[in-house]
Every structure is written in structure tokens, then in C-alpha cells.
Amino acid sequence: MDLTSWIPEDSKDLRARESEMKDYNATDRKAHSKKVTELPWSEKYRPEKLEEIVGNLQAIRTSRRWCDQWVHGMPKKKALLIYGEVGTGKTSISYALAREYKWEIVEMNASDKRSKELVEQIAGLGSQTKSFSGRRKLILVEEIDGLSGVADRGATQSLIKVIKESQTPIILTCNDIKNKKLSGLKVYCEQAPLRKLSPGQVVKRLGEIIKSEGIKVESIEVLQRIADNADGDMRSAINDLQALAQGEEVVKTDSIFLEHRDRQIDVYKAMRRIFKCADYATCRRIIWDLDEEPKNFIAWLDENIPVEYLSKAERARAYNQLSRSDIFLGRVVNRQYWGFLRYVNDLMTVGIGFSKDKPNFGFSKYRFPSLISKMGITRSKRARERSIAAKISPIIHESRKRIITDYLPLLRHVFERNQQAGREMIAYFDLEEGEVELLT
């Protein structure tokens, strides 16, 4: 290739090229400007100050008090755990705190990291009191309930140790405070719970945004429908508003088309909705938003039907529907035909929900299933039984299930009566210390 062909032969060509570059730069600037204007409204209108955050004043006061303790020394609890449903303002509060106290925020997401990697990264940052700019650092760890492996005792204890030894403020955020992964961790954190925003609070904020954008709405019903569909999630409401209103002069009521959002709900909320539901279609949809195994949810319903339904007739009808649901679930497992799952879901929701004579509008304190609690207590024992069965099964050519039910009682009897035979079996089956303890 002749590289001299790229060199302009005269000044006329040079001026033409300069003109082309100017046109290109102007076009590029316009495109960049367009990108700026297309910034998501949820980011464009993210609160800069704590005073701008909608609702949850108590959580904001708790967060401020915790930060003040860092300003005047070092708090007893060096981590702040902000928890609440999606779109309630966990991240916004964290960034607003950093701005108010002039701290430099370092953000990481627990869902994107392995437990060991995250603990090491927090430990490294936590050992430093200030950043290169001379300002105090604030470590923000989002979605701590999504941390892979944090349920492991070692990972949890390592993270607790890092928090205890940290010289830097740490903010953790999560959606579900009831998550078992957080049971050991939350004790060492100052807690700031965020309540779900009311439709009125969401409507007010949407009105401020629409006014700032210079867009009108035909009636307040437009904003109310967006708020109702968002179900307390401010971010979702703002995103829906932008999708409907951006580029419009007036948003009309009949132009609103909002799809139902898939939202996960906890077990307590799902039971409350089922027990108190009055609409068939709504009752059926409850199970779609619940992230829980059907067999576990059956245990929850089994425990709490007597709590909600007060008459014997109501309880009898509800337990009849629950037992039929359990029968179909057994058929799903045995026949591996998942088409039966539709009957399981309908019987658990509509079947139980419509077993009542009239709604019980009083408060019901639901209980954790005693069956799951007992299984949790005996989990270690059952794990050792399965481990022993796995070692013996290929040697004596029996199923693991039969070894647990029929052979383990016999082995316990041998260990009690003949210690020499017991020692021989330990060597022969290569039993470990924990397994031997189960048999002695």
C-alpha cells in the first residue's frame, strides 16, 4: 500500500478534510448529547441528599447515627446492614451518606464474587483508614444475601472477623433479612430496615419527575396505576413512567399498558394472601411469585391452617385440599410427570383459600413449621446415616434406604455387645469418627 496517498496534495484538500472533521465532531457531539439525555430517569433523579429520599425516616436516622459514631471515633458495630424490598432506596441511602459525610465510596456486589474473594477484598480495603485522596473510605457491599458460599460456617466467620477488625465503615445491603445466610452475620451489624413505599409516596415522587420533564398527564389516575403496578418499588415505577411518558407532551389514561411484574414474595406473605384471598384468579397467581419448593410450602400450610381457620369445618376442608395436593405432588415425583403440578398449585392456593366460610380479618401470627425444625435438628444425624449407608451399600449389595432402616439398628447392637467386632467393622467399612459415634 502507498502510504503517501494519505497525505493531502494541496491546502484545498487539507481544508476539505478539516471541514469533514468539524462536521464529524459536531455529529459526534450531538450523538453524545443525545446519549446524555437518554440517561435512565431512575439514575437522573436518584436522590443526591438524604432529605430527598422518599420515606423511611427512622432508617435514615439510624444510618446517620452510625456514621456520626465513625466521625467521633469507632462504633461498636462497624458494619451497617440496610435491608428492604427491591426499590426501597438501599443504594440511594448509601450514596447519599457518602456525599453528606464526604467519604469515598467503594462498591462491590456480593452476587458477582466468590465468598473467599469478597472476604479478602473487604479485608484489604478495611485495613486502610483513608483513600489516596485523603478522604475516609466507605465500603458498600450490595446483595450480601446473594453471596455464594456465605452459608458455609467458615466463610461467615471469616466475614465477621473482617468486620470486627475493619478500620473503615462497611455498609451491607440485602433484600431478605430472614435469609439463613445472614443469621450469624446480622448480630454484628447495626440494622436499618426499609419499609415498602406506599402508593401515595410513589405517586408524589412521579409527579415531581413528570413536572421536571415538562410533561403533563391527563389525570392523576395515570400515576396511580403506575404506582399500584410497581408495588412499592420506586425504581420500577420511575422506569415505567419513562417508558410511557418520554417524548410525549401529554400522557393519556387510555395509553397505559403495564404488564404484571414477577416479584418474589416470602412465605409469610404468600400464606397471608392465600388465607385471606377473595378472588380466584389472584389466589392462583400467588404461587407464581413464591420461590419455595412445593413440599416445603405444604409444611408451612400444614402448620398454619389451625392458626388462620378457627372452625373445625374450615380446618377439615382446608386439610382435605392440602392432602390432595400432597397426593398429586407424590405422583409428580413417582411418575416424573410434571403436568400434575398444576393440580398441586391450584389445591394449595385456591383449594385452601376458599375453604373458609368467611375471611378472618384479624391478625394471625404464623409459625415456622415444626417438621422443618425437627429435620434441621436431625440433619447432621441423617447425613452421617447416609454416609455410612453409602460405604456399606456396594459391599453388601443392598439399597442405602434399607441399610438405614434395617441394618444400622443391627450394627448398633453389635457395637454395644462386641467391641472387637465393632473395631473390625470400623476398619472394614472405613468408618470415620463421626460415623462411629452414631453407632456407639
Query: Which CATH number fits the domain that encloses residue 61?
Result: 3.40.50.300
Q: Do 155 and 250 fall into the same domain? A: no
Q: Do 79 and 158 fall into the same domain? A: yes
Q: Do 78 and 210 fall into the same domain? A: no
Question: What is this structure's pTM?
Answer: 0.56
Task: Identify whether 136 is part of a domain.
Answer: yes
Q: How confident is residue 320, by pLDDT bands cut at 50, 70 and 90?
A: very high
Q: Do 57 and 135 fall into the same domain? A: yes
More confident residue, 309 or 10: 309
More confident residue, 275 or 5: 275
What's the average model confidence in pLDDT over 214-236? 85
Q: How confident is residue 13, by pLDDT bands cut at 50, 70 and 90?
A: very low
Task: Identify whether 29 is part of a domain.
Answer: no
Task: Identify whether 40 is part of a domain.
Answer: no
Q: How confident is residue 12, by pLDDT bands cut at 50, 70 and 90?
A: very low
Summarised one tens digit per residue, pLDDT across range 281-290 is: 888 888 877 7
Q: Do 302 and 428 fall into the same domain? A: no
Q: Do 352 and 409 fall into the same domain? A: no
Cell of 270: 404468600
* pLDDT at residue 430 greater than cutoff 60: yes
Task: Identify whether 387 is part of a domain.
Answer: yes
Cell of 146: 446473594
Task: Identify whether 188 is part of a domain.
Answer: yes
Task: Identify whether 385 is part of a domain.
Answer: yes
Final residue belonging to a domain, choices 176, 193, 210: 193
Summarised one tens digit per residue, pLDDT across range 152-199 is: 445 567 777 888 888 889 898 888 787 776 777 888 889 999 988 888
Instruction: Look up the domain containing 212 and give its range.
Output: 199-255
What's the average model confidence in pLDDT over 266-279? 84
For residue 127, the model assigns a pLDDT of 55
* pLDDT at residue 33 greater than cutoff 50: no
More confident residue, 269 or 304: 304
Length of the chain: 440
Q: How many domains does the chain have?
A: 4
Percent above pLDDT 90 for the chain: 14
Final residue belonging to a domain, choices 375, 395, 414: 375
> What span, in angstroms and rounded, lies between the C-alpha atoms of 419 and 32?
82
Summarised one tens digit per residue, pLDDT across range 349-365 is: 999 999 988 877 777 78
Q: Do 67 and 148 fall into the same domain? A: yes
Q: Do 232 and 318 fall into the same domain? A: no
Q: Do 228 and 159 fall into the same domain? A: no
Best CA proximity match to 85, nearest among 228, 225, 238, 266: 266
* pLDDT at residue 120 greater than cutoff 70: no
More confident residue, 132 or 163: 163
Task: Identify whether 108 is part of a domain.
Answer: yes
Contact yes or no for 303/271 (Cβ under 8 A): no
Other Cβ atoms closer than 10 A to 341:
15
What's the average model confidence in pLDDT over 222-232? 84
Q: Do 245 and 352 fall into the same domain? A: no
For residue 288, the model assigns a pLDDT of 76
Final residue belonging to a domain, choices 345, 375, 405: 375
Distances (CA, A) of 29 to 26, 95, 333, 386: 5, 30, 61, 67
* pLDDT at residue 389 greater than cutoff 90: no
DSSP class of residue 195 equals P
Cell of 263: 416479584
Distances (CA, A) of 239 to 40, 53, 235, 389: 7, 17, 6, 55
Contact yes or no for 116/122 (Cβ under 8 A): no
Q: Do 274 and 208 fall into the same domain? A: no
The per-residue pLDDT of the chain, averaged, comes to 78
* pLDDT at residue 62 greater than cutoff 90: yes
More confident residue, 217 or 20: 217
For residue 322, the model assigns a pLDDT of 93
Percent above pLDDT 70 for the chain: 78
Q: How confident is residue 264, by pLDDT bands cut at 50, 70 and 90?
A: low
Best CA proximity match to 330, nearest among 309, 311, 317, 344: 344
> What span, in angstroms and rounded, lies between the C-alpha atoms of 89 and 95?
10
Per DSSP, the three-state class of 170 is strand
More confident residue, 325 or 406: 325
Q: Do 55 and 144 fall into the same domain? A: yes
Task: Identify whether 285 is part of a domain.
Answer: yes
State the DSSP H helix or E strand holding residue 141, giving kind and residue range, or none if neither.
Answer: strand 137-142
Summarised one tens digit per residue, pLDDT across range 68-111 is: 999 988 888 889 999 988 888 898 999 999 999 999 888 876 65
